[in-house]
Structure formats: C-alpha cells, structure tokens
A = this chain, B = another copy of it.
C-alpha cells in the first residue's frame, strides 16, 4: 500500500472516460434481476432515452459487449457471404471494419484515406458509381485513432440514392459528443458504446438501424447467434432480452441518459464544440500541431509529438507527473501523436487542466514554451457564452 497523497486522478483518454459520481453510485446498488418489474420499467425508460440520443424512432439494440462486438454485429447481420463492402480506411478503426468483414468472407474494398484526414464524400460517390456490386459502406463518425471526423451526413445523402447499399456507421466515440442523426441523415446502422461520451463505464454496446437495414438483416446469411439483432429486437420491444444484460450498467445508463436529456442534445453538441475548439486553440498556442488539421472531431484532439520529443514517454509522463491518464498513438502513429479526449463528462476546467498538463509535461521534456500560453488561448475560447 502506497502512502496516501493528495493527487487527484484525471481520466482524459478516449474511452473509458470519466463517469459522474452519481452514475457510479447507481452501480453500487443491489443488483436487479433482468426480468423483475423494477428492471423492466428501467429498461423501458432506457429504450426511450437511447432513441433520443441516437435521434431515431427505431429500436436501439442493447448488447453486453464492447464497441467492437457491436461493429461485428452490424457486419454479421447486414452482409452475406461474398458481398462487397466499401470500407473507409483512414485509421485503426476503419481498418477494423475491413478485418471484421474479411473474417466473415465479406470482400472489403478499402477506400484509403491518409491517417488524420476525412474521406471526400465525392470519392465514395465515385466508388459506388463505379462498382454496382458494393452492398455497404462502413465508416466512422470520429476515427478515434486519428481524431478526424468523417462527414457521415454527406455520405448518408450519397448512399440513400443506392437502394442496395447500406451505410454502416461506427459512432462509438461520437454519440453524446457530436451530432449523429440516425433517421434524418439516412444512416442505416449506427454503432455505439457505453464508455465514450455516454458517461458510463465500458460494458454496453448499441446498434440502431434503419428500416432498410432491418429488411436487409432478414435476408443475410452470415452466422450470428449472440449478435442476432432481429432476434434481440423482437424481445427488446417487449422490454425483454434473450441474454442476461449487465443490469447495473443499464440502471446507470438510465441515470446518464437523464443527464443527456436534461442538458439537451443541442447544448451538448455546442459544449463539445467549445471544449474542442478551446483544446485546439491551446495546443496551437503552444506551437504544436493537430493531426486532423482540416476536419478535427469535437470528441478528441490528436496532437503531433513535436520534433525532438520522445513520443513514447509522453503518456507515462502525464501519468507520473500529473496523475492524468491519456493515450498515445496506435500502430503507425505510435510515438508520433498523443490524444486528449474531451467527450462526455467534461467541463471548462477539465480543458484548462488538460492544456495546463500539456504545458507541464512538455516543459519537463525541455520543449520551449511560455507558461500559460496554451491555457490562456483555451480560456479565451471557453469564456464565450454557449447558451
């Protein structure tokens, strides 16, 4: 046991993220059975709240899984053996779509995008026009590995014109942080996870689907049992579920969805926009540059490690020096970037803390900076009223 010292813990990683203490306390309540009346009432409220968050009138499927499980569920329900999928590949999670497709014998045609950039919607339109055999487009709202935001609204308009193509959207790190209009934008499958901007621990994943996608799911032939979405929907609409849900997380989800509803989606998106702009302003004021310069997501900011700094040391120093958990880059970005998440349960002073910590850490590494330059720039953005 270490000697207790006053070092508060900060979690600024892009999932798991910080969870409001009131939501955590829900997890400590006596466990409910998944079929007792009190739980069924909560499940019903949660189903409502999820429809609000996903901006859909359809059923949002709840899974006991990580976000990857829900991505796999979307693929396994929406494709058949030998189908072709167009995969927007501009980061680790784009690549994950391709890996999942190939696992199931679905041909993944990669539309390569430089890591850190967003796909050009016209490139997707061209690819679909060129190849009539494509049955689905897989993309991220926010590519968590690079911090780039793909314009899924524009993709929705393009895919909508192709009756035999579905648009499958990984919104795991986007839902509750940035606008994702499932119904209005014609997104056929929207995948979510509990541990990002939904202000919950990991353990729940979600899939919302359009009528077009549900129809497709009734005709595909890939094997799925635990992830059989039509089967789960059939039970969920009766406030039931074929498998045992993590009941404490569902109870906590009601609480966090209550927060979402109380603040309102519009305000939530404006808040995240401001938190993101402030972080970006602070980072730039320190002379650093963003990986996703042109189309950064408002959910997280991915910062290039400056010349001469050992990128691998950065996350460790955040931990040791500041007791702040952040993450570095993955795969080809390893050691080249660090990622600051500002999604979910994040306020003005979290961003001030985050940018201040960047100053402390870089200063320790010998990076030349004027104390407070980053924080000042962030504050100037944070001072603007958003209500």
Residues of A near any B CB (own CB < 8 A): 9, 11, 13, 15-19, 21, 24-25, 27-37, 64-69, 72, 76, 99-100, 103-105, 193, 195, 201-203, 222-226, 228, 242-249, 319, 325, 327
Contact = CB atoms under 8 A, between A and B. Distances in A.
B24 A24 contact: no
Given A201-B248, A248-B201, A249-B203, A226 B65 contact: yes
Q: Which secondary structure dominates chain A's binding surface?
A: loop
15 contacts: A16-B31, A16-B247, A27-B248, A36-B325, A64-B64, A64-B66, A64-B69, A64-B202, A64-B203, A68-B225, A69-B226, A69-B243, A103-B225, A195-B244, A246-B249
A224 B16 CA distance: 24
Contacts of A76: 223
A31 B198 CA distance: 13
A203 B246 contact: yes
B28 A9 contact: no
B225 A37 contact: no
Contacts of A202: 34, 64, 244-247
A326 to B, nearest CB: 9
Which of A17, A18, A193, A243 is packed against the most chain B CB atoms within 10 Å? A243
Contacts of A224: 103
A325 B27 contact: no
A105 B243 CA distance: 22
Nearest to A14: B33
